[in-house]
Chains A and B, each alone.
Chain A
């Protein structure tokens, strides 16, 4: 046999397939079917890692997903996974894993000094010690972060692929133990579509390893037959290696399926994991129960393990983790483990904390020659890297004091069995209510949510035959409620277990050789190193609420979420507080049930798929012509077009001058466009906009401002009347969706009788905005239609053919220049653009981006909603009283103009600023202060909203929101900058260029 602790036969491993792996660099061997944990135990490796706080040596406690101790760093490089549970890692050829939280090695760990100083590292230590002085926190934190922490996150980008799947079915069964299998098969036979998920590779659950019988068959055989039938049914989906991670409202269950994690070649074409989003009409929880550790002094050494897990290692993996075994228990069930181990050649001693054992158990011990210490406790353990001996002593009847002498016994494997805690985490997530059950001394489901069932030991039901009957009923009920009414005969005739779990005699903590609050290490939460003493301390210091105890001691807050520790912590709190456990309550269980990769949650929504990109029809041309892009919402817009050696400033200056001197062209396709039709359209626009729309002629354009009901500006744009009942509205690029929703909201919820229809047409049109003194000449060369100032004056629209393509030409201007916005069907957009560029060459046509657009509009004092406004500016604050109708009875926002706060004096108002030194471009967002002092705080009276160097004027210009701004023309204001410099500026009106508007009107 290649492994020291490997049995010659038995188990579900394949002894014909040898697997090579490395742990901490050491080459080792295991078999197909092993987990990393079982293979390590087979190689007699018990020391796996160091604990979180005290860096104590830790081994393998369990055989499942609840494992708190045996966390390893799995793999290397970009695919490395921290905090992987050795009990859940299936062995594959070439696997490499290493211990975590130790330096320089697991055997010689410097952090273990914390263990020696543990008396000064109690719960809350970090909070108490490192909170003062605040300036030192950064210093302390550096050392804390280095000392704490578990595994290391990969530093490179994750190369794996993850997928997501949405799934709908009648019945989801979580857990494929014998109860889950029974429920799933019943529901399936009744005709329901069934999803069965189980986190293990092998279906069957705990009874794969026990000597129970169902229908007079060995359980293993019964499981095999049942799984075979389920797999063959078309209405059943079976997922192994799939852990249900979350259970939300309306029977929404998420599950993480591991697809290639257990395979050697990670370059497999399959995704690494698949994240399932499951919505089913009925959910049946059959997740089983976790065996509960006992709280005694030194209960955390390598070589101390849960009794049922040892049974699993023996029966499923053919590994006997120790030969001189002591089993410490408070219940009958653990005796069956002893029998299993003895049958494989181990010597087993049982220490039972109970005062009496039943006649049946006594006989069993006699038959199997088991030495028993009844009414005894393990009070001490020894061994540095692995357990070597234990000390036991008899307890008094009340378990509060010792009787007789302590005895030391050599032991290389100490098993503990403190009873069973139903795995109620998912149930609790679903908002099911728990109650404390005195018989099993644990929490069980009490009030279920709709369309849900909990079965088997998950429901606190430990009698095999009864629970299988209930599982049959649950499966049938779920099928019936989902309309699947085929009759299903009860196929459970008989079932029995050699020794059933009925009750446990729970002791909150076991007396040790030292008092529990003084230096003894009764561990409750293994992963977070929380001891019984910490729970005592929390109660003493007033953190008596369960939520406070949890946060103060960090019990239950590690990656295992307290699966092995929570109930023990509550039992101890109940003991200290002298009230029933049920009254202590429990903390909220939160998803995920087991750690879950971010990759799986993200699925394929990464990189370019993270958020949709919106591209205009001209996008390729922008790329070809060297555009630098800027994100505006989801749109990619050209920011500026630098020529080879140009800086951004140089490019923008060139673009600005070209647009004012001859012709500039802007891709304005991203502008929001809404087609509005219906007999009440004009009436509707009158209510939406602040100005009047009734008298707008067909073919005329008008600028409009929209306010919300608080009277604050929230969008603007030009709307054109296309026909009697037909309008074309434009919005800001970023506000298009918001405006559309706003219009729909009032049409659908407030003015239901209005006949108005709104359609988003943003993508349907490509908009080429050409501006500059030569823009008319350029356009005239591309159309045969009359576009003279008489035929197409400022603020008019004309339908015409441009380059032979149907177009709407709008004479509107955001730059202050003579300007035409040519709208053509997006499918002809690029064609027309190319023609315009070609024809524009003789006018030195210059494409410009959003930055130049911003400069040009700022020179004209046009606002940008969202830049010059922040949701707290009224039209009046923006110096735009001219656009607010005095005549209209009502429009959205009007009433709020009269609210005292909106109408008061001293509001911030929009002004222009000329920088006195004629050269500093003040950063946008800078504050204007009343009085400059050496350092902040200074009393602020405004802030800069827009600030540019104006190439046209040759000096900087800015706009600002300034307290009482309208009345302060000519005032000097002061703007302190981050670098300590103070800039002085003069308040002016906010139109800097061509105040009369001759250029755009021409």
Chain B
């Protein structure tokens, strides 16, 4: 965790607005300038007024009135426009940033999420983005405003009496140091706060996704205790960061009033020696607000930037996370004359945490063959599928997928994305997205017609139960399909795979949750589906071995091949 923000962080933050720099700058500068000029106008109006009183001259009074009316009308319109413009730019920039982060997340390797909880990501995309947005809608504007207000006041002061101007610039510069003192460590504190907020979201997600366990096992108290402790820590972080602000705010009060009184004292001395017009002193007193505001607050506002700066660099860190290698360890080749479809050669594999899974395994599935992959639980069957689909990269060995040139226009060696285009997959745990049944099936092939979706559902023996649901194909399945029964979920996953109809089919315990009767029907349907396709199917059931051309048994990291003799 960094103690302070570096120039790089500022650049990272400012780059977010980049494509909209011009309108944003116009909006911010315009808004700041106009707002500041109102205050400066008030100072001038005051001068005219006092002068008119002291000098008994009503001409000044007229000046004052005209100036106020002009300010009110002009500023009103301009403020509306500028304020909207700068906020709009900021919002659009935030929208782009979020879209960018989301797309990036989609392309991160699965591995990333073994270390980063979804709650952390969700929290970052809410709290951090909110914080950055705050920088553009508020903090940066306030800095600009302070600069204008301060500069405008200083310039006006110079015009009125340069000696005052010099004096207050000096005082102002001095106060900056006071503020710097208070904003130390602010960055570190904010980092901690944001991290804890992320943890809170994680805990809430854990509670909800494991709610049945929480209800059925004696852990509620412990969970609530943990959450309560974490909330307490969060409160402490919050307090730390706010306490800094409190210090800065009270110091600014001191500086504001202190300098105000000082002006009057000095001004009075000057007045007593009759060298100045009193109206000028009053005006300077008013203008002084601007100068003290500049020096007193700019540090507050810059201090407030630490949270967005921390947020921006956290977001940047996600964006810099390395995405999946598209030219991964699987080599895809298009070759009509090669009938070896899936080849694993001397493949060894360990997970990042050191789990040793595969030891120099060799595997060969020819075009149109059905391979059964079996072996005890935890032997690495699903891992082989992850390797074949390019979800995990291998460090030792080679994997080839040779395809018949089924589509023209594809290069002879191609990326993981194209590999996935030719693979259909039924996962071990039927994962469903939180949307309708129809859409879940349609994810098999985007753009499939309704009839095709229904056909796929029928083949997966899912159509009947879908039609018995109140909203039929438009039934929402809930988070990961909780609103369906286990076997129903699995059949939706099968329908999704059937709809894709790709030349290579990978099935990981595809029918494990089906009842025997349904299983028999679905197996029959799958048998027709996979005709002519290259298939790897993982199963514990000996009954499914019948149709296999080759049986691979995985145990203790080694693979045993058992090729059927075709009679």
Binding between chains A and B: no
